[in-house]
Amino acid sequence: MVTGTAVGQAASLLFAPILTRLYTPDEFGYLSVYTAALTMLAVVAALGFELAIPIAANEEELANLTAISTTTVVVMTALLGVAMWLVPDAMLETLWLGELASHRYLLPVGFACLGGYFVMVAVATRAAAFREIAATRVSQGLTGPLAQIAFALLDFGKQGLAIGFVIGQSSGTFLLFSRVVLQRAGLLAAISWRGVAATMRRYARFPLLASWSRLLDMAGSGTILFVLFSACYAPEIAGFMFLTERVISRPLLIVSTSLLQVFTGEAGQAVQHDPARLKRRFWQVIPRQLAFSAAWIAVANLAADWMFPVLFGPQWVAAIPYLHALSAAYLALAVLHPVSTALQIMERQVLAAFWQAGRLILMVSSVIIPWQMGLPALTALWLSSGVQVACCVVMLALIAVSVQRIQRDPVAT
């Protein structure tokens, strides 16, 4: 997993200097708003049913969860398509999404592609098909930037960035479907109306709680900051933030995602059969991820002054202060991310939802209040970064307490 994601990320980073010379900071600002809206919405594409796939008790339950998740993605895509057709431009402006009004059709298309990919990754995680998931990371690192370069040469403008992003992120969907789903003999045959009904009752808490919890989590993780800074300050600032996220935080995120898939796959089984193993894995991942992430971010900050103008062009020098401001938040998120599904796996969705709602409120406030006070964007970004660190520390403490409790009283799960 780590090797595959490292190769994919290296390929993506190699294309970044080309993309920053083909697109302006304003155009990257548009991409940041689009990807923020898409990634926040896509986590509820299957209403959280895909989160239950790694902890499916047997093949029949796995088959029915896969069917439920896929059908839900189709239904939710249709609803989003109708909403984007009916919602007036003024309402999009009110929701800080005015940038998307002219090409609103791109949102449901990306929603379907990304939602389908999340379902396939969940099935592959349940099957421990980590080699296949790693192959999709390589595909993402290559196809996305190549598509964006091609669209720039065809003069698609900022929409080319968005379309290329969707192509890259969803490029592994059919690969996982063919290599994981179709290769599991009897999986599709195990789907039944009775099984679907029973499975929906068993995992009703996931769409009722986990899906909205994930939406809050994605927004609060920093994604909503692109929308807020673009709307409150300027799209160019969101573009600077997006570049720093791509070249500094993205490598950490993709590596931590690899760990997340493995941790989720193991934890889904350990929570029912071996709680002590869940505790060992948690305390193995956290300190190692902290050491790795801190080293990477320190090097990035030291090298930024010469790296940005040389690699990305002089117009991106202004992004360096934003990198410094975001570094602490990047570190905290990178440490939390590999174990971020732990509360969901332990079926403590209510606790997770309260934390995520609280973090989102604090994150939005950390931008809106400084903006209303007339403070500069960089000050607001430092404040939001500090809020993110504090919230991540609280979540790690909640997971540690829950892991200890489940080891002491496994019947409570």
Q: Return the pLDDT at 213.
A: 67
Of all residues in the chain, the percent with pLDDT exceeding 90 is 22
* 150 residue type, one letter: A
Residue 63 CB-density burial (10 A; 0-12 exposed, 13-18 middle, 19+ buried): buried
Q: Return the pLDDT at 412.
A: 43
Give the pLDDT confidence of 42-65 residue by residue, as tens digits. Answer: 888 888 888 888 777 787 888 888
Q: Return the pLDDT at 407.
A: 63
What phi-psi label fits residue 128: left (phi over 0), alpha (psi between -120 and 50 degrees) or beta? left
Q: Return the pLDDT at 272.
A: 66
Of all residues in the chain, the percent with pLDDT exceeding 70 is 90
Comparing 292 with 91, the larger pLDDT belongs to: 292
Mean pLDDT over the full length of the chain: 83
Q: What is the mean pLDDT of residues 193-221?
A: 74
Give the pLDDT confidence of 342-393 residue by residue, as tens digits. Answer: 887 777 777 887 888 899 899 999 999 999 999 999 999 999 999 999 999 9
Q: What is the mean pLDDT of residues 84-110?
A: 76
Q: What is the mean pLDDT of residues 115-140?
A: 84
Q: Return the pLDDT at 367.
A: 93
The pair of structure tokens assigned to 224 is 């909503």
Q: Return the pLDDT at 99.
A: 67
Residues 256 and 340: beta-carbon distance below 8 Å: no
Q: Return the pLDDT at 211.
A: 66
For the chain, the domains span: 1-203, 218-413
Q: Would you say residue 271 has pLDDT above 90?
A: no
Q: What is the mean pLDDT of residues 117-142?
A: 83
Comparing 413 with 317, the larger pLDDT belongs to: 317
H or E element, residue 254: helix 250-273
Q: What is the mean pLDDT of residues 120-133?
A: 83
Q: Would you say residue 395 has pLDDT above 80?
A: yes
Give the pLDDT confidence of 150-206 residue by residue, as tens digits. Answer: 999 988 888 888 888 888 878 878 778 877 777 776 777 778 888 888 888 887 776
Task: Tell me the whole-structure pTM to 2 decimals.
Answer: 0.75
Comparing 328 with 87, the larger pLDDT belongs to: 328
Q: Return the pLDDT at 380.
A: 95
Q: Return the pLDDT at 411.
A: 40
Q: Return the pLDDT at 234.
A: 87
Comparing 199 with 240, the larger pLDDT belongs to: 240
Instruction: Return all residues near 314 (Cβ < 8 A) that are at least 6 apart.
Output: none
Cα angle 158, 320, 225; round to 5: 55
Whole-number Cα distances in Å, 115 to 46, 313, 385: 7, 35, 29
Residues 33 and 102: beta-carbon distance below 8 Å: no
Q: Return the pLDDT at 388.
A: 94
* Gyration radius (Cα) of the chain, Å: 21
Distance CA 230, CA 32 (A): 9
Instruction: Return all residues near 193 (Cβ < 8 A) that are at least 6 apart.
Output: none
Q: What is the mean pLDDT of residues 312-316?
A: 88
Q: Return the pLDDT at 124.
A: 86
